[in-house]
Amino acid sequence: MTDHPKALHAWSGEFGDRYTERNAASADAVRGRARVWGEVFRRMDGDMPKSALEIGSNVGLNLRGIQALSSMELWSIEPNPAANKKLAADGVLPEERIFEGFGHAIPLADGAVDMAFTSGVLIHVDPSLLEQTLREIHRVAAKYVFCAEYFSPKAESIPYRGETDLLFKNDFGSLYMDMFPDLRLVDYGFFWRRTTVMDDSTWWLFRKG
């Protein structure tokens, strides 16, 4: 999700609308995300974040899962207007905590939230804007950086729903660690679709400082 013309048009337009329609906030999907976040929160050893920003939230499956477990203050930045409208209409977040935009330009101050995270979003960032996006995520996070993404030991572009230049696998954990010496790896693992109702994903949790 970038300001690359094709990606901008795709995720903020009809392509993104269709993605939103496919990813309805069903009870099973929300339960799956609650399970996912339960695993992540157990790694935090009692040092839970009090606030979090999701970059690329779509209709907020992760946010809803977190809300089932925690009362932390949640924020979102998402490029698709239909998804943002759904997020507000369902009462997941108040409109003032929903930003319409992309991860390479987050309208929050340094360290504005305790945790900044992505789930299945870095894979859709054009390589020309990936470093800028990671820097923005790192900048706004005061304590934790988390991501769950498709893994590849090397950067590779994968056709996605008949389109090129919209999905890019990588070793995102190594990118974070190589770029930011202040990040300490807390843990990493794998989310299995059969138990999480989300795509098979490798995840990494980092503590800042």
pLDDT in the model for residue 2? 37
Are 65 and 57 spatial neighbours (Cβ–Cβ below 8 Å)? no
Cβ neighbours of residue 161 closer than 8 Å, sequence gap 6 or more: none
Domain ranges of the chain: 5-208
Q: What percent of the chain has pLDDT over 70?
A: 88
Is the model's pLDDT at 17 over the cut of 80?
A: no
Q: Of all helices (H) and strands (E), which one includes residue 204? A: strand 201-208
Class of domain 5-208: alpha beta
DSSP string computed for 86-122: HHHHTTSS-GGGEEES-TTS--S-TT-EEEEEEES-G
Give me the phi and psi of 42, to 5 degrees please: -65, -25
Band of residue 145 on the pLDDT scale cut at 50, 70, 90: very high
pLDDT in the model for residue 163? 82
Q: For the segment 96-144, what is each residue's pLDDT rounded down to a tens digit?
A: 999 999 999 999 999 999 999 999 999 999 999 999 999 999 999 999 9
Band of residue 162 on the pLDDT scale cut at 50, 70, 90: confident
Burial of 121 (0-12, 13-18, 19+ CB in 10 A): buried
pLDDT in the model for residue 19? 63
Provide the sign of the torsion angle of the four alpha carbons 111, 50, 40, 35, taken in this order: negative
**Which residues share a beta bridge with 203?**
148, 189
